[in-house]
Chain A
Amino acid sequence: MDAFKVLEIKKSVYEGNDGRARELRSELKRDGVFLLNLMSSPGSGKTTTVVRTIEALGAEMRIGILEADLDSDVDARTVSRTGARVIQLHSGGMCHLDAEMTRQGLSGLGTEGLDFVILENIGNLICTAEFDTGASRNAMILSVPEGDDKPLKYPAMFAMVDVLLVNKIDAMGFFDFDMEALRERVARLNPDARVIPVSAKTGEGMAEWADWIRTEVKEWRAS
């Protein structure tokens, strides 16, 4: 029998992805492409928000959209009606995107001539929080019907985002949603996160959201 020896590796499994994400982030910086990773649960209004964002910023930025889904191209079709460059990514059952998949999506989309790319991540509040995609900023949408208790249930997601959109505020009257309680819960996990109440349906709050993007893009360019 062979004599085995123990070889210590002591490496975090996420290290490979983290390295690839850092690389992608600096390449995008060099090329002047601001990548926003947009996460949420299914049905929170991500696609409608993306369409509204294109309407608000399309005149001043050249925008591209990466639509990630397990299957289908319904979201890509909806978004392509805005005239923005869009590509549908199928994760084939994977519940999150990592840096390598994001890179493949970006090269499929073609980032040449683009200033701003939104990565519409898979609808999922758990795994998407754990894999760095290489994005310049991370955003999340929580919709009013989901409830103000979500930061308690999915802390990792709320702790890593730069901005939280609270969508469907037009439906506030039908749900017991306490905006102040939500703000407190988010602040406890992530004091730096900006919270912006919006309605992608009526357009309320979208101006503040567009301003946030403008400011972040400017800061990112200057950094």
Chain B
Amino acid sequence: MRRVIVALLMIPAVGIAIDHSKLDYGRPLQIDDADPLAFGEMAIEFGASISVNRSRKPDYRFEAAYLYGFAPAMHLELSAEPSLTNSKSEFGVGLFIGIKRETDKLPATAIKLGYHNSDGENELSARAILTGQIGAIGKWHLNGEAIFALNAPTDQRKTRFAGAIGYSTPIGLPNDFSQTFIVAFNIAQNTHVGESAMGLLGIGLRKQIGVREVIALGIESDLFGVVGLSRPSLRLTLGLTSSF
């Protein structure tokens, strides 16, 4: 079951852009918004997280990512997670494609295609992303993802689905223009055949701390589907993004 937790909480966190209002997968919550990196923009990201549960030792993770807007509305993501607490190292490659920006009638739309390798286990993924305005300054976000395990054992799903819904809003306006509050709910099919889906709720803050630097701070907790483990399982995430 621990593997289940890892599958949901430790999805590689690559994301984009410098704006604090930009939702950035893993910085700090596991949800994307539909804005691609600007053409020519590069960013580096660092993230550290700790997952805690009363029944096991804390799990520390560190990850780094590089992003490059190599074409209009498209960017490439390269991520790596050297392991700190076990022998598992992971890396991923992603292609983010902005399909349309938000207009008067329709939300912004994007897709993200990914390849992820975790200790020899290969996965491909395709994520659809929608973002739209809600209220005066808020944004809603919807992610739907299909993940294809290329060499899954027989007791695990070869294809599973995940989704996330989130809300973000700048906070502090009109006096402070440097921070965004985020809340997201994730749900994902269990990697193991026959086990229930998992749910996760998180809140986070993205704050600009430098001319081109944004930090992200978040806390996520599983809500259901983690059979056999004492709750809560929490993950704290701290991320830093710098674009150039």
On whether the two chains bind one another, the answer is: no
